């Protein structure tokens, strides 16, 4: 409990201390967290930075021996900004040789030994991006800058001028040598802008173990959030099992088959931290298409004409699509639903907007085909299009095709999370499509009308906002703990 006492003395927020105490008390109860099997916690200090005592020990060559491209630019904390012409140029080699690779050797303050766990590379150097580094071999030596060296990682850097993080298997290193295997297509040089190196947190140390567990939990939560965003919260392989957690360890108070699951340890962590994942994920989002929630029909192609003398028949108004009611054939009651005047695939549509013409992220649509029309006319296939601009002219992006069963029940469709100011439903087929005759369009069972009973649209906000808040909170605690861990290291 020594580290708890030092925590209490530190300036770390009280919430963290309470969390640590709760975690410590529960260590015996919780399963071992295996989520870190592929990721481990790393410190906050870039030990390669010149500002922190990092040094360039050796470099294979420098382009035209030009001091503007010196290898010290790799650890100066700056990258080149082509627009503002600020920062430093980065380093470029004087040749490109994928066999006898170009390299740079980095040492740390006082030639000290470190267990390294993460490398960050920003390839942005002030040269043609074809020269930017692609494949990098990372080697470490515990003895001398000349070696012997052990290969500790092979990294592939993307052709993007931004810091790219690589968590590596923790390895002891006094000197780190980066060998540049390939670039993006130049035979003149290989170049990059900045290299950062971070220590692995020791998971067998009391505080280090806690940091490792929390980092694993935060990563797991991020993957869970990503899986939810990708799928609208369903039909995904267990997000956590990707991360080395066995299915047996997966459990949740509201378990549904196929839903991404959080490990018990992570759920405990959230609960101890004041969050409640059960209520967060059980919170039912509002149907933002419903008229009573501010939804409205902003455009539509036509309304069914029952009597040509009277024109469009209001009992088939498109407003019936968002009135929260459907026609019940059994007792001949309920709202009639919408029906068009005429049907050809792609010609009939209804566009729905939200309260105050606001843009929402949406990820789920529910439709009910039931209307007071012959089921030959019931919508069978609907293209869903979204725009963040004009309800009339779009531009429209097709995000899903809904294939409906001709049954008078709510039918749910998950779609990838996407921003929408207006959602346009374009009707592509009606009726059962079971007429197999030459010359008959399978998509058109009735050219008189296409009809639909109800549309509901949902946003993922309730759940993901709760998740964002928990992740943000845990990340802040993690930074506090890492700062403390690094302070402890300095004091001993
Ligand atoms: Ca730099
Ligand atoms: Ca309705």
For ligand 2, the distance from its centroid to the CA atom of residue 141, given in whole angstroms, is: 71
pLDDT at 11 over 50: no
Name the pLDDT band for 30 (thresholds 50, 70, 90): very low
Q: How far is the CA of 300 from the centre of ligand 2 (A)?
A: 15
Name all domains of the chain by residue range, CATH numbers in brackets. Answer: 2-39+205-284 (no CATH), 42-200 (2.60.120.260), 291-459 (2.60.120.260)
The pLDDT of residue 362 is above 60: yes
What pLDDT does 157 receive? 97
Q: What is the mean pLDDT of residues 443-462?
A: 91
The lowest-confidence range among 275-279, 343-347, 363-367, 423-427 is: 275-279
Average pLDDT over every residue of 237-244: 31
Cα 3 to middle of ligand 2, angstroms: 62
Res. 80 pLDDT band, cuts 50 70 90: confident
pLDDT at 426: 98
The closest ligand to the CA of 46 turns out to be 1
Helix (H) or strand (E) holding 23: helix 14-26
Q: State yes or no: pLDDT of 89 exceeds 90.
A: yes
Cα–Cα distance measured from residue 237 to residue 227, given in angstroms and rounded to the nearest whole number:
9
HSE, CB side, 13 Å, CA atoms: give it for residue 278: 8
pLDDT of 225: 76
Q: What is the DSSP string of 268-317?
A: HHHHHTT--HHHHHHPPPPBTTSGGGT-EEEEES----SBTTTBS-GGG-
Residues 6+ positions from 84 with CB-CB distance below 8 Å: none
Place 213 in a pLDDT band, splitting at 50, 70 and 90: confident
Ligand 2 center from residue 232 Cα (angstroms): 24
* Digit-coded pLDDT (tens) for 92-129: 999 999 888 999 999 999 999 999 999 999 999 999 99
For residue 198 the two structure tokens come to 């971070």
Q: Which residues contact 308 (CB under 8 A, 6 or more apart)?
A: none
CA 140 to ligand 1 centroid distance, Å: 21
How many whole angstroms separate alpha carbon 346 and alpha carbon 342? 12
Ligand nearest to the CA of 73: 1
400 CA from centroid of ligand 2 (Å): 21
pLDDT tens column, 333-361: 999 999 999 999 999 999 999 999 999 88
Q: Kindly give the distance from the C-alpha atom of residue 169 to the centroid of ligand 1, in angstroms, as a whole number.
A: 25
Report which bound ligand comes closest to the CA of 122. Answer: 1
Find the 159 Cα to ligand 1 centroid distance in Å. Answer: 16
Ligand nearest to the CA of 320: 2
In this structure, which ligand is nearest to the CA of 90?
1
> Does residue 424 register a pLDDT over 90?
yes
Better-predicted residue by pLDDT, 199 or 3: 199
Question: Rounded distance, CA 126 to CA 121, Å?
Answer: 15
Q: Is the pLDDT of residue 16 over 80?
A: no
Residues 39-50: what's their mean pLDDT? 92
Mean pLDDT, the chain, whole residue set: 83
C-alpha pair distances (Å), 201 with each of 47, 75, 491: 13, 22, 16
pLDDT of residue 250: 29
Q: Is 256 exposed, middle or buried (0-12, 13-18, 19+ CB in 10 A)?
A: exposed
The answer on pLDDT for 221 being more than 90 is no
Per-residue pLDDT at 482 exceeds 80? yes
Q: With cut-offs at 50, 70 and 90, classify the pLDDT of residue 186.
A: very high
- Measured CA to CA in angstroms, residue 36 lies from 168, 201, 244, 478 at distances of 12, 12, 8, 15
Is the pTM for the entire model greater than 0.85? no
CA-CA distance, 459 to 420, in Å (whole number)? 10
The CA 314 to ligand 2 mean position distance, Å, reads 13
Ligand 1 center–CA 301 separation, angstroms: 58
Residue 243 has pLDDT above 90, yes or no: no
């Amino acid at each position: 409990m020594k580290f708890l006492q030092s925590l209490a003395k530190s300036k770390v927020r009280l919430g963290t201390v309470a969390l640590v105490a709760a975690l410590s008390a529960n260590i015996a109860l919780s399963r071992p967290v295996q989520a870190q099997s592929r990721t481990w916690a790393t410190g906050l200090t870039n030990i390669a930075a010149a500002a922190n005592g990092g040094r360039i020990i050796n470099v294979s060559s420098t382009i035209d021996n030009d001091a503007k491209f010196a290898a010290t630019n790799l650890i100066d904390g700056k990258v080149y900004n082509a627009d503002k012409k600020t920062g430093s140029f980065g380093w470029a080699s004087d040749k490109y040789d994928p066999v006898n690779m170009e390299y740079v050797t980095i040492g740390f303050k006082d030639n000290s030994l470190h267990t390294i766990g993460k490398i960050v590379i920003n390839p942005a150097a002030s040269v043609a991006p074809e020269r930017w580094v692609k494949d990098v071999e990372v080697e470490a030596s515990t003895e001398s800058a000349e070696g012997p060296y052990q290969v500790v990682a092979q990294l592939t850097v993307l052709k993007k001028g931004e810091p790219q993080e690589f968590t590596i298997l923790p390895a002891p290193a006094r000197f780190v040598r980066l060998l540049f295997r390939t670039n993006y297509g130049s035979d003149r040089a290989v170049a990059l802008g900045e290299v950062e190196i971070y220590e692995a947190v020791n998971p067998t140390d009391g505080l280090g173990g806690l940091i490792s567990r929390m980092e694993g939990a935060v990563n797991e939560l991020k993957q869970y959030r990503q899986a939810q965003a990708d799928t609208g919260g369903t039909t995904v392989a267990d997000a956590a099992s990707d991360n080395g957690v066995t299915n047996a360890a997966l459990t949740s108070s509201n378990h549904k088959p196929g839903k991404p699951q959080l490990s018990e340890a992570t759920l405990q962590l959230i609960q101890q931290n004041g969050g409640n994942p059960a209520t967060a994920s059980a919170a039912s989002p509002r149907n933002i298409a419903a008229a009573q929630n501010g939804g409205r029909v902003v455009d539509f192609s036509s309304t069914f004409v029952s009597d040509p003398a009277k024109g469009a028949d209001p009992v088939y108004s498109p407003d019936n699509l968002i009135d929260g009611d459907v026609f019940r054939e059994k007792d001949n009651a309920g709202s009639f639903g919408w029906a068009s005047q005429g049907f050809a695939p792609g010609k009939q549509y209804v566009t729905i907007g939200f309260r105050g013409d606001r843009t929402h992220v949406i990820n789920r649509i529910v439709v009910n085909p039931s209307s007071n029309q012959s089921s030959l006319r019931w919508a069978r296939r609907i293209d869903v299009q979204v725009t963040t601009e004009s309800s009339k002219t779009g531009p429209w992006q097709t995000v899903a095709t809904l294939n409906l069963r001709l049954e008078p029940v709510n039918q749910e469709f998950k779609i990838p999370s996407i921003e929408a100011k207006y959602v346009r439903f374009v009707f592509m087929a009606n009726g059962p499509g079971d007429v197999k005759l030459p010359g008959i369009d399978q998509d058109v069972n009735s050219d008189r009308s296409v009809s639909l009973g109800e549309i509901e649209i949902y946003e993922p906000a309730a759940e993901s906002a709760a998740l964002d808040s928990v992740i943000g909170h845990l990340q802040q605690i993690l930074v506090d703990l890492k700062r403390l861990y690094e302070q402890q290291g300095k004091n001993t």
